[in-house]
């Protein structure tokens, strides 16, 4: 009995000693691992910041952003080509749809009104010229200076009526050009909203600028795949240029009549006191309006170039500009450190 208990006690002591040795071995192993980890961490933190950031970026790098061009939906553009604004309504852009519809309808109505006004003034001009010819014939036959004076007066009034008819006709053409431009803008806007302006492809700013330098075409914006902007540029430049040219023609006509009335050999010289101021006023007004529209047209032209260049620079902004955060927590050396890194690349 005594020997059995002693044997059992000895066996337990051996197992206990073995457990202690095992625990000590594991503790030493764990201590070695911890020391190696601390040493590695110390070495890592002692390295230059650029190296650490590079390794962290390499370890945590995400897959490159791949931009896929979505399929273009031409339904909206097709509808807008038929009825202005219908494509925008189909695309659930109700405000733009209504705006295009009202703008084009208003421009067409404006053009129709001034076309009728031009026709009426042309008929009045023809009536005054017929009266002038008839009265002049009677005055020459009768040798009546009063009738001849009246015939000349009819001729002066006919010139004024013709000037007003030219202005009304030019206004009608400008309004019609505006309506056509709005329709084109409406079509290109729907085309862009349908996916024709997918971003991501890198564009050359120099090429965009040179293309935009060609007036009235919007080539720089088309190169940047912004057909909606191209339509707006085309409408603005064309309408302003046509209006400026119309006032230039009116200025030339008024100058001709003004000089004719100042000519002592002209039959209209005798009416200069009453009507010379009229032609001078029309000339000054046309001159001022022409220059105003030319300056505005130049501003729009320069803006189109600037817009094309800026858009080209930003064409692949999703690839050029990446903002990413890197939050790191480090514990060691009797303290803790938290670092937040923002990576912004151009």
Place 341 in a pLDDT band, splitting at 50, 70 and 90. low
What are 326-334's contacts with CB under 8 Å, separation 24+? 326/53, 326/56, 326/57, 326/60, 328/56, 330/41, 330/45, 332/38, 332/41, 332/42
Q: Render pLDDT for 159-194 as a digit per residue (tens, 0 to 9).
A: 999 999 999 998 998 899 889 889 988 998 898 888
Backbone φ/ψ region at 195: left (φ over 0), alpha (ψ -120 to 50), beta: left
Q: Whole-model pTM? A: 0.64
Longest dimension (CA), the chain: 174
Phi-psi region of 92 (alpha: psi -120 to 50; beta: other; left: phi over 0): left
| Residue 50 scores a pLDDT above 90 | no
Decide if pLDDT at 64 tops 60.
no
Please name which of 124, 148, 128, 127 lies closest in space to residue 136, comparing C-alpha atoms: 148
Residue pair 182/257 in contact by the 8 Å Cβ criterion: no
- For residue 102, pLDDT beyond 50: yes
The pLDDT of residue 20 is 42
**pLDDT above 50 for 3:** no
Q: How confident is the model at residue 26 (pLDDT cuts 50, 70, 90)?
A: very low
Asked if pLDDT for residue 130 goes beyond 60, the answer is yes
pLDDT tops 60 at residue 325: no
What is the 8-class DSSP label of residue 269? G
């Amino acid at each position: 009995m005594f020997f059995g208990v002693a044997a059992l006690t000895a066996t337990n002591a051996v197992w206990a000693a073995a457990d202690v040795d095992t625990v000590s071995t594991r503790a030493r192993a764990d201590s070695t691992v911890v020391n190696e980890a601390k040493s590695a961490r110390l070495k890592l933190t002692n390295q230059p910041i650029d190296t650490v950031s590079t390794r962290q970026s390499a370890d945590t790098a995400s897959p490159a952003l791949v931009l896929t061009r979505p399929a273009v939906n031409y339904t909206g553009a097709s509808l807008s080509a038929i009825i202005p604004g219908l494509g925008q309504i189909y695309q659930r852009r109700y405000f733009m749809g209504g705006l295009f519809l009202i703008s084009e309808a208003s421009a067409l109505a404006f053009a129709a009104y001034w076309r009728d006004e031009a026709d009426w003034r042309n008929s009045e001009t023809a009536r005054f010229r017929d009266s002038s010819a008839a009265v002049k014939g009677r005055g020459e036959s009768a040798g009546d200076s009063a009738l001849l004076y009246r015939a000349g007066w009819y001729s002066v009034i006919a010139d004024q009526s013709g000037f007003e008819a030219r202005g009304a006709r030019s206004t009608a053409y400008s309004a019609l050009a505006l309506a056509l431009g709005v329709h084109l803008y409406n079509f290109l806007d729907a085309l862009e909203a349908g996916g024709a302006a997918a971003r991501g492809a890198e564009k050359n700013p120099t090429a965009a600028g040179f293309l935009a330098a060609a007036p009235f075409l919007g080539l720089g914006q088309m190169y940047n795949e912004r057909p909606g902007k191209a339509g707006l540029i085309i409408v603005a430049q064309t309408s302003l240029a046509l209006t400026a040219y119309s006032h230039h023609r009116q200025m030339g006509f008024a100058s001709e009549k003004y000089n004719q009335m100042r000519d002592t050999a002209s039959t209209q010289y005798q009416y200069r006191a009453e009507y010379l101021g009229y032609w001078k006023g029309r000339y000054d007004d046309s001159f001022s309006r022409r220059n105003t529209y030319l300056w505005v047209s130049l501003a729009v032209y320069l803006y189109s170039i600037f817009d094309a260049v800026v858009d080209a620079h930003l064409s692949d902004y999703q690839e050029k500009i990446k903002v990413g955060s890197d939050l790191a927590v480090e514990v060691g050396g009797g303290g803790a450190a938290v670092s937040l890194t923002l990576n912004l690349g151009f």
